[in-house]
A = this chain, B = another copy of it.
Amino acid sequence: MTDSPRQRPMRADARRNYERIVAAAQEVFAADGAGASLEEIARRAEVGSATLHRHFPTRRSLLEVVFHDRVEALCARAREHAGRSAPGDALIAWLRDLNIYAAASRGLASSLLRDGRDTDLLQENGDCRAMITATAGDLLHRAQQAGSLRAGVQPEDLLALVNAISLATEHHRDDAQANRLLDLVIDGIRLPH
C-alpha cells in the first residue's frame, strides 16, 4: 500500500540509505525537535549530506515520511471512535488523542501543518496534512449534522487550535495546562444544550 513500485524501483543501495536516513531522522527529530540539524541526521545515518538532500529536498519532505505512520495510526483511531461513539463524543475523544500526539511529538505536527506558503509542497505531497484534514473534517461533519456542535467551525480550525495548544505549552512541558486549554476549546465548539 505504501510501496507502489510503478515507478522504477529504487536501487538497493539507494533504498538502504533512504531507510537509514529515515531511522536517524526519527531519533534526531524526537530528541531535538523539528528544527534539528539535517547534517546531524546525515551524520548519524552515516551518509553524505548530499545524499540526504537528494532523497529529501526539503526538511518538510523528511518530516512527512517520518510521521506518516503515526498520522495513519491517528486516522485509524478516528475511525474507531466514529464507529463506537456518538458523533460529538467521537470528535472530542479524537481531539484528545490528537492533543496527546501533538504534545508527544514536540511541535512536529506544527511543522507539517504549517508551510502553506510553499504551495508546491502542498500539492506535491501534502500527504499527512491531507489525511489528517480529511479525518478531522469527517468527524466534524458528522458531529455538526448530529447537532452536537456549533456550525461554522472548520476542520482547519480544530487542527490549528490543537496544534496551537501544543506549541504554546511545549516549552514548559505542562500537560495540565494543555488539558485545560483543550477543555476550553472543546467547550467553545460544543453547542450549549
Contact A157 B181 (CB under 8 A): yes
Proximity string of chain A (79-121) to chain B, C-beta cutoff 8 Å, 1 when within and 0 when not? 0000000000000000000000000000000100111110000
Which residues of A come within 8 Å of B, CB atoms? 110, 113-117, 152-154, 156-157, 160-161, 163-165, 167-169, 171-172, 177, 180-181, 183-189, 192
Copies assembled: 2
A160's partner among B157, B181, B188 (CB-CB below 8 A) is B181
CB distance from A114 to the nearest CB of B (A): 5
With the chains together, A181 CA to B154 CA distance in Å?
Answer: 10
Expressed in whole angstroms, the minimum distance between the Cβ of A143 and any Cβ of chain B is 14
Q: List 23 A-B contacts (CB under 8 A).
A: A110-B167, A114-B171, A116-B172, A117-B172, A154-B180, A156-B177, A157-B177, A157-B180, A160-B165, A160-B169, A160-B177, A160-B181, A161-B164, A161-B165, A163-B164, A164-B164, A164-B167, A164-B168, A184-B188, A184-B189, A186-B188, A187-B188, A188-B189
Q: Are A116 and B171 closer than 8 Å at their CB atoms? A: yes
Question: Can you list the 10 inter-chain pairs with the closest CB atoms, starting with the nearest?
Answer: A164-B164, A188-B188, A160-B168, A184-B188, A116-B172, A187-B188, A164-B168, A116-B171, A192-B192, A114-B171
Query: What residues of chain B lie closer than 8 Å to A171, measured between beta carbons?
Result: 114-117
Query: Which B residues are in CB contact (< 8 Å) with A157?
Result: 177, 180-181, 184
* Cα separation A183 to B169 with both chains bound (whole Å): 21
Chain B residue at minimum C-beta to C-beta distance from A163: B168
How far does the Cβ of A144 sit from chain B's closest Cβ, in whole Å? 14
Let me know if A180 and B164 touch, CB within 8 A: no
Task: Note all chain B residues with C-beta closer than 8 A to A117.
Answer: 171-172
Closest to A118 in B: B171
| Cβ 8 A contact of A185, one of B153, B177, B188 | B188
